[in-house]
Amino acid sequence: SSSASKLQRNPLFSSLEPRDVSFFNEILGGEKYVVQDEERLETANTDWMHKYRGSSKLMLLPKNTEEVSQILKYCDSRSLAVVPQGGNTGLVGGSVPVFDEVIINVGLMNKVLSFDEVSGVLVCEAGCILENLATFLDTKGFVMPLDLGAKGSCHIGGNVSTNAGGLRLIRYGSLHGTVLGLEAVTANGNVLDMLGTLRKDNTGYDLKHLFIGSEGSLGIVTKVSILTQPKMSSVNLAFIACKDFLSCQKLLVEAKRNLGEILSAFEFLDNNSMDLVLNHLDGVRNPVSSSGNFYILIETTGSGETYDREKLEAFLLKSLEQGLVSDGVIAQDINQASSFWRIREGITEALQKAGAFYKYDLSLPVEEIYNIVNDLRGRLGDLANVMGYGHLGDGLIEPYVYEWTSKHRGSISAEHGLGVMKANEIFYSKSPETVALMVSIKKLLDPKGILNPYKVLPHSFFSP
Ligand code: FAD
């Protein structure tokens, strides 16, 4: 990548030596946990998009917090830079080394520690895969407050570290609200026990928030306590075609007004995104017959089987009559519902199959969202295929251009974070004073800067 290739390795960091490997073998209990195998390292060095590649010679797999603490304490004393890695599904190059940083993956720390069926509070280790947590909760009649296309691989620790948004944010809010506590280890090996399970605890600075969304730059998250929600018996999903973006916006307003208490997702994609998925993924077909220019997925989740369905049907009918919607279907069963979701969730995968792509993850005021796609189409002409899709319900979309976004008071990273891709772009979304405080906090918690260097903060911070 262009932004990563301009970076220089910080010469203050040590290089890995055989004695380091011996030390890790000793504390972790053998080679099984101290990975030097080239093939496995190749995978761990490469990000999900195959856009960023590091050259780490070592991946460590700690089994508990104590081991994470010992690893970090040692790396800090030796000035060995590290990169915390979860499921490695991040989309901004944050989860892979830029140079030879030691990869620390907490994937073996994957136990559920407790679940309270009264409060819905789940406490688990950071390496639990999101989908496994969802499956566990399903047996208890609960759901995770977040869901994303990468659920089969991403870790809850990675989700917390990126403050992942995802498909249910419109209903359950962000992780800053649902994460009740966490345990994290800072660079010097200090274990911070902030693993509260209370919804209310106003005793001083709420430091857990520093670790939510800090992309492994302040510490390694080792445990998470999160508020889950009772599973509702009735979930309905409609796939809708709209002729223009204005109709999509109006539909969102109407959906909030008419389906408010049961609305759980409002996702949008344009015709180009639909074509992409149809062309690159097997077994996908367009559920609506009349092709629109835009498509919307509306999911409702509630407790009244008949009531909810009737409500959604009536909403759809009314929207058809008003001309907001040109066509629409409601999934008849769970298989059909998954095939609808497959279209929206498959876009990232289809992009990867289609070849080189620039993927931006922006948030903008809803009325501005599609203008950026149109402006870019004009600017790029035949040079590129510009497509827009995203979580419209909370004002998000994923096309590009930082200046445009900044000018319209959007955020240059809605959900995916800054990683290495956007670290230098931070000033588009944050004031110099705010970035200066971030730098101070980073220096306080990680004085030698060994934790996920070259990420999040502007590159100038990392030049010695
Ligand atoms: P990784 O990719 O391994 O790491 C991400 C960052 O977190 C890195 O900076 C890493 O250093 C840090 N990190 C990881 N684990 C820890 C830890 N235990 N302690 C400290 N730091 C850690 N994101 C959204 O927000 N919304 C979406 O809807 C969404 N959809 C996606 C769909 C697909 C198909 C894909 C591939 C990705 C999607 N993402 C989405 C990106 C999202 O950021 C990640 O999927 C997820 O949150 C990262 O989890 P992970 O375990 O894979 O972390």
Provide DSSP, 47-71. -TTS--B---S-EE--SSHHHHHHH
Q: How far is CA 291 from CA 191, 298, 318, in A?
A: 55, 17, 19
7-20 mean pLDDT? 96
pLDDT at 199: 82
Closest CA to 292 of 309, 321, 272, 277: 272
pLDDT at 291: 67
pLDDT at 463: 77
> Which SS3 state, helix, strand or coil, does residue 251 take?
helix
Give how far the C-alpha of residue 60 lies from the chain's centroid of Cα atoms, to the nearest Å: 23
Which atom of ligand 1 is found nearest the CA of 90?
Answer: 2
The one-character DSSP state at 105 is: E
pLDDT tens per residue across span 233-288: 899 999 999 999 999 999 999 999 999 899 999 999 999 999 999 999 998 999 99
131-141 mean pLDDT? 98
pLDDT at 358: 76
133-151 mean pLDDT? 96
Q: What angle do CA 138, 139, 140 make, to 5 degrees?
A: 90
pLDDT class of 342 with cuts at 50, 70, 90: very high
Those residues with Cβ within 8 angstroms of residue 52's Cβ, 6 or more apart along the chain or in another chain: 1, 4, 46, 93, 96, 98, 420, 421
Q: Could you give the residue ranges of the DSSP H alpha helices within 227-368?
A: 245-259, 271-280, 305-321, 334-345, 347-354
pLDDT at 166: 86
pLDDT tens per residue across span 58-97: 999 999 999 999 999 999 999 999 999 999 999 999 999 9
**Is the four-CA dihedral 70, 72, 77, 80 of positive or negative sign?**
positive
Structure-token pair, residue 16:
């890995």
Q: Which range in 183-187, 363-367, 413-417, 421-425 is most confidently predicted, on average pLDDT? A: 183-187
Q: Is the pLDDT of residue 381 over 70?
A: yes
pLDDT class of 383 with cuts at 50, 70, 90: confident
Give the domains, in start order, of the chain with CATH numbers. Answer: 2-106+438-462 (3.30.43.10), 112-230 (3.30.465.10), 234-350 (3.30.70.2190), 358-429 (3.30.70.2740)
Q: What is the mean pLDDT of the chain?
A: 91
Q: Is the pLDDT of residue 401 over 70?
A: no
Q: Are 340 and 297 in contact (CB under 8 A)?
A: yes
pTM reported for the whole predicted model: 0.89
- How far away, in angstroms, is 25 Cα from ligand 1 center? 28
Q: In the structure, which protein residues have their CB atom closer than 6 angstroms to any atom of ligand 1?
A: 48, 83-91, 94-95, 106, 126, 148-150, 154-155, 157-159, 161-162, 164-166, 215-216, 220-221, 348, 415-416, 419, 452, 455
pLDDT class of 464 with cuts at 50, 70, 90: low
